[in-house]
Structure 1
């Protein structure tokens, strides 16, 4: 029997208090995969030009866009102000030639923006958050590729549109200029799809942005340098067929060859396709590059753990 002087042992069981913070469950509409993909596409497109990102991210794409427009603006000024004096009856630089003239700027753009869209998600594992939403891997790849393609298409087409409007102000034949411009727009779409696919696939192979940028530049610029060298040698040695085959291995010469074959535009390479068979091969090669890039990206992201 315990002594009456002994005090009872204190209650050491933990206690807690529930606070009502006012949180309420979400009661609004829950969007499906389509709206999520559309929002994802718009965000990626804006980010390629630094919109919605830091000021430093806007510098390079905006400078590249401005430098792409500057030569076109100068050409338009000469055509409008002195076209009749100089007896000009067409553009100083053909629409189909302009992308090859500015290929360095275009290559730097896709080389800098493809890793920003692709490699960063892999490096910082944000892809796990994207795949946790109602979005399948296939749609993630297609949306990212679509954002880069549209951004590249805008970069290529903007100066062409400026040249077209300048041609109309200079009273060039409307239907002729419109036909040439639309052919150039089709070529710009093919070039943007090829460049975006190759650069995205290259960037997806590494999580290091610097390495991805270097690899994309090597793929695009070195391939064009090698191809143009082979084409020049083939013309000098009277073997144009070798140059035509070599043109298949650079997106710039490949797309220009398709434009020459389909739209009969001025040649921008030494050895464009001269036969129907080779022209069809060029067209199939463009399709193969785009589909092959998509297939490679799907294979790459199939190995990524969410």
Structure 2
């Protein structure tokens, strides 16, 4: 038994080992570079880059399906000389695939960090809570835009080589650029809603199901309103669902078919979509302020 009166020589002598740790003497890049690195990492995560094969399967499966559809449409136009589908109709036709893509990617960007408890490590750096939320939203929006924008650009490039004369190319460009704007509307609206839902659920599988439900469970309301014997009810029914809300904006602002299914309420669709995006972003910021405060 060791006592206070034991001689000092009976105690083991302490040894200091030099294991090579050194202080960092390089430049400290600060918040802006931290935000850029987080955005790039999140964008790579959206497509499973730098991760296992399992993480790449579902996003790249959807990318492959969208790319194949664009290639088939381009081939049909090359054979027949007529476009089987307009540029602005392309994202509208693929709305279900956009829902599945955001339902897969948003939990990877938000739910994974919540479940693993790494957010305190992020916020221990010079990274604001709002930076984290907005960077994740920007990454998901960018990934969704690339999902549709790249195949659409391939379709335009193929059409530009098929038409005769620079005037026809300009006409194609006049159809293509508004369609890119329509793709941006899809990307923003779908991403805001998907990431907000994912930020509320820690388990990725549950979050994916909740995202799909948030988009699809409102569709029966639209169907009920569309069969009412009131024209205004049918035209305003699209406001009840995010999918038909974006579709209504396309009918009003981007498609040249001459048929406006939303009647005179096109500007209202635009305002509701803007309000949805702003409200979703504010709720997302509030969610991460609450998470960081725990």
TM-score, length of structure 2 as denominator length: 0.90
The CA deviation string for residues 52-84 of structure 1, in whole angstroms up to 9 with x for no partner, is 11111111111100101112211111111222x
Q: Give, in whole Å, the separation in 1 of the partners of 2:66 and 2:220.
A: 21
Contact 2:252 2:260 in 1 (8 A): no
Matched residue, 1:209: 204
Matched residue, 1:272: 261
Matched residue, 1:147: 139
Q: 1:249 aligns with which of 240, 252, 262?
A: 240
Contact 1:106 1:152 in 2 (8 A): yes
Matched residue, 2:124: 132
Is 1:218 aligned to residue 216 of structure 2? no
Q: 1:24 aligns with which of 15, 18, 22?
A: 22
Q: Give, in whole Å, the separation in 1 of the partners of 2:19 and 2:263.
A: 75
The CA deviation string for residues 241-270 of structure 1, in whole angstroms up to 9 with x for no partner, is 112212123233222322332345337xx9
Q: Give, in whole Å, the separation in 2 of the partners of 1:72 and 1:233.
A: 34
Is 1:15 aligned to residue 13 of structure 2? yes
* Structure 2 counterpart SS, 1:59: helix
Matched residue, 1:113: 105
Is 1:184 aligned to residue 179 of structure 2? yes
Contact 1:187 1:256 in 2 (8 A): no
Tell me the number of residue pairs that the alignment of Structure 1 and Structure 2 aligns. Answer: 285
Alpha-carbon distance change, 232 to 273 in structure 1, aligned in 2, over 3 angstroms: closer
Matched residue, 2:287: 300
Matched residue, 1:77: 75
Query: 1:226: how far off?
Result: 4.1
Matched residue, 1:5: none
For structure 1, the residue ranges without an aligned partner over 5 or more in a row are 1-7
Alpha-carbon distance change, 180 to 252 in structure 1, aligned in 2, over 3 angstroms: farther
Matched residue, 2:157: 165
For structure 2, the residue ranges without an aligned partner over 5 or more in a row are 1-5
Contact 1:107 1:221 in 2 (8 A): no
Runs of 4+ in 1 over 3 A off after TM superposition: none
User: For structure 1, which segment, 186-195 or 9-18, has the greater mean C-alpha deviation from structure 2 after superposition?
Assistant: 9-18
Q: Give, in whole Å, the separation in 2 of the partners of 1:139 and 1:66.
A: 32
Q: 1:195 aligns with which of 171, 176, 190?
A: 190
TM-score, length of structure 1 as denominator length: 0.87
Q: Give, in whole Å, the separation in 2 of the partners of 1:96 and 1:230.
A: 27
Q: 1:66 aligns with which of 64, 69, 83?
A: 64
| CA RMSD of superposed structures (Å) | 2.0
Q: Which has the larger radius of gyration?
A: 1
Q: Give, in whole Å, the separation in 1 of the partners of 2:74 and 2:285.
A: 43
Contact 1:259 1:265 in 2 (8 A): no
